[in-house]
C-alpha cells in the first residue's frame, strides 16, 4: 500500500479557551499515482485532545473515465472510514459535509494523521485536489 504524506498546514495546539472552535486542514494535491485501490494520502495531523464536530471533504474530478469507479474514505489508522465512508465525490468532482457516526465527538488520545483512502481506485486516474477540513475543539 502506498502512503504519501501531503500536509503542510501549521499544527494547532492547546491555544485559546477550552472548546474554542478550531479548523484543521487545507488543499492537497492528489496525483494519479495515488489513486490505486488501497492507497492512502495523509492530509493532516490532529493534536492529542482534539474532538471532532464536523467535516468538509471536496475532490475535483479525479476519475475521468466514462464509467468512473473511484470511491474514497477519510479516517485514521484505527478506522479508515471514521469521518467519511466510501464516498464517490471524486467521480465527477463534488463535496460532502456528512460526518460518519463514528467520527462525531471522536476524541484523539494521541497526535494522529488523517488520511484519504482509495477504497476503489480510479478507472482512469487524473491529477486533482482534495480540500479537507475537520472542525472541532480541544478538550
Q: What is the pTM of this model?
A: 0.88
Q: Which of 45-49, 78-82, 121-125 has the lowest mean pLDDT?
A: 45-49
| 105 in any annotated domain | yes
Q: CB of 117 within 8 A of CB of 72?
A: yes
| 15 in any annotated domain | no
Q: How many domains does the chain have?
A: 1
> Residue 110 pairs with which residues in a beta bridge?
none
pLDDT over 90 at 35, yes or no: yes
Number of residues written out for the chain: 139
| 102 in any annotated domain | yes
| 106 in any annotated domain | yes
Q: Which of 7-21, 22-36, 99-113 has the lowest mean pLDDT?
A: 7-21
Q: CB of 33 within 8 A of CB of 105?
A: no
Give the domain range for residue 84. Answer: 3-10+20-138
Q: What is the pLDDT of residue 33?
A: 95
pLDDT over 70 at 9, yes or no: no
pLDDT over 60 at 11, yes or no: no
| 120 in any annotated domain | yes
| Backbone φ, ψ for residue 91 (5° rounding) | -70, -30
Residue 52 belongs to a domain with what CATH number? 2.60.120
Angle at 45 between CA 54 and CA 121, to 5 degrees: 80
Amino acid at each position: 500500500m502506498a502512503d504519501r504524506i501531503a500536509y503542510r498546514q501549521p499544527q494547532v495546539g492547546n491555544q485559546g479557551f477550552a472548546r474554542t472552535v478550531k479548523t484543521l486542514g487545507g488543499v492537497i494535491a492528489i496525483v494519479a499515482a495515488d489513486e490505486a485501490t488501497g492507497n492512502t494520502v495523509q492530509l493532516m495531523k490532529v493534536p492529542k485532545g482534539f474532538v471532532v464536530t464536523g467535516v468538509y471533504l471536496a475532490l475535483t474530478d479525479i476519475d475521468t473515465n466514462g464509467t468512473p469507479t473511484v470511491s474514497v474514505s477519510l479516517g485514521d489508522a484505527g478506522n479508515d472510514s471514521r469521518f467519511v465512508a466510501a464516498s464517490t465525490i471524486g467521480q465527477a468532482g463534488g463535496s460532502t459535509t456528512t460526518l460518519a457516526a463514528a467520527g462525531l465527538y471522536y476524541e484523539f488520545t494521541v497526535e494522529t494523521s488523517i488520511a484519504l483512502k482509495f477504497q476503489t481506485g480510479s478507472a482512469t486516474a487524473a491529477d486533482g485536489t482534495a480540500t479537507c477540513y475537520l472542525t472541532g475543539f480541544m478538550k
